[in-house]
Amino acid sequence: MDIAKPQVVTSGLAAGMPALGFGVGLRSCHFEWLLENDLNQPADSPRPVDWFEIISENFIGNDGFAAWMLERLAERYPIVMHGVSMSIGSTDPLDIVYLDRLAELIERVNPVWVSDHICWTGIAGVNTHDLLPLPYTEESLTHVAERVLQVQERLKRPLVLENPSSYLQFAHSDMTEWEFIGELVARTDCGLLLDVNNVFVSAFNHNYDAETYIRALPHQQVVQMHLAGPTHCGTHIIDTHNTAVPRQVWALYQLAQKLCPDCPTLLEWDADIPDFPALVTELNKARDALAGQLPGHDLVYTGYSDSVVSTPLHYQMRGDNV
Ligand SMILES: [Fe+2]
C-alpha cells in the first residue's frame, strides 16, 4: 500500500473541528465500571479514553439513570451524538418530530458534532431499524442533498454523515458510492464520518477496491472515523461490531489517517461487548497503527455465523435501552 505522500488537510470542515483523539461508544454495560473507576476520580486524573459517542435515540426522551450518567460524563469528556433514525435517503417526508427531539437533545448534550448515516431506514412511516443502501443516481443525489440542506438549516449546524455497510447494490446505480458521497459533500458542505470497517465490508461484498474508495473521498470534510470488527461469512462479510478490528481494517485505517491526519477515532462494539478495560485495549491499538505497527489478525471465514447486523436499536428492542 502506497501511503508515502499524504495530502494535508488544512481547509474544510475537518480543519475547524477539534482533534478529539481516541474514543468509544457509550454502552450501558460499562456504566458500573465508569462509576467505580472513572467518575469518582479527581477531575485532573488520567482518563481511559478521550471522548464518547452516544447513540442519539437511546437518550431522546430519556430522563432516567442513563441520562444522569451522560450528564456526569459530559462534565469530564467531549460527547458526540450519532443517530440511526434520520432516514435521510427515504422518500417519506423528513420526520419533523424526530428532528425537533434531536434538537432538544443537542441543546441538552452540547455535542461536538451530530452524525447519522447515508441510508434510508424505512418507508410509509415504518422504521425497519436497519440502515438500508441507496441507489447512487442523480435523482437520488438531488433528493438526499435537498434533505441534508433542510436538516442542516433546522439543526443550525453541519450534519455529519457516515458511509454505510451494505450487502446489495441497485442495478440502476450509475455512479460509485464514493462519487455519490463526494458530490453530496460538494452540494451540501456536510461533514463525513468515515467508517473504515464499512468500506472494508462493502468493498468485499461488492468487489471493489477499498483503497480507491478512501483515496477518492473529500478528506477535508472527514471529521471522524469509525473502527469495528465484522464477521466473515464466506461469500460475504457482515458488519457485526462483535469482535476485534481485523488487520485489513487497520491497514485501511493507516491509509485513511495519512489522508485525514489526526482525525478523531471511535471504536464501535455492539454485540459480545468486552469489559471496559478490554475495550480500551482494543481502542489503543489505533495508537499502535499510527505508530506504524499493524495490529490484529486477518479476517478469514471460520464457519457460519448467525450474528445480527449491528443496529443498536436491536439491543434497545431486546431490553438493553440505555
Ligand atoms: Fe460506524
Sketch out the chain's domains with CATH numbers: 12-317 (3.20.20.150)
Q: How far is the CA of 79 from the centre of ligand 1 (A)?
A: 16
Is residue 130 predicted with pLDDT exceeding 60? yes
Q: How far is the CA of 194 from the centre of ligand 1 (A)?
A: 8
pLDDT score of 313? 42
Q: How far is the CA of 243 from the centre of ligand 1 (A)?
A: 14
Q: How many CB atoms lie within 10 A of CB 96?
A: 10
- Each residue of 150-173: pLDDT tens digit? 999 999 999 999 999 999 999 999
Q: How far is the CA of 64 from the centre of ligand 1 (A)?
A: 26
Q: How far is the CA of 226 from the centre of ligand 1 (A)?
A: 5
Is residue 315 predicted with pLDDT exceeding 90? no
Q: How far is the CA of 71 from the centre of ligand 1 (A)?
A: 24
SS3 49: coil
pLDDT score of 305? 58
Rounded to whole angstroms, the Cα distance separating 20 from 293 reads 22
Q: How far is the CA of 298 from the centre of ligand 1 (A)?
A: 20
Rg of the chain in Å (alpha carbons): 19
What phi-psi label fits residue 88: left (phi over 0), alpha (psi between -120 and 50 degrees) or beta? alpha
Is residue 120 predicted with pLDDT exceeding 60? yes
pTM recorded for the entire structure: 0.92
Provide the grid cell at 77.
469528556
CB neighbour list of residue 241: distance below 8 Å, 6 or more residues apart: 228, 229, 230, 268, 269, 270, 271, 310
CB neighbour list of residue 223: distance below 8 Å, 6 or more residues apart: 13, 14, 17, 113, 160, 191, 192, 193, 263, 264
Q: How far is the CA of 41 from the centre of ligand 1 (A)?
A: 30
- Each residue of 20-47: pLDDT tens digit? 999 999 999 999 999 999 999 999 999 9
For 19, 144, 218, the CA distances from 131, given in Å and listed in that order, are 28, 15, 23
Q: How far is the CA of 42 from the centre of ligand 1 (A)?
A: 32
Mean pLDDT of 278-301: 96
Q: What is the mean pLDDT of the chain?
A: 92
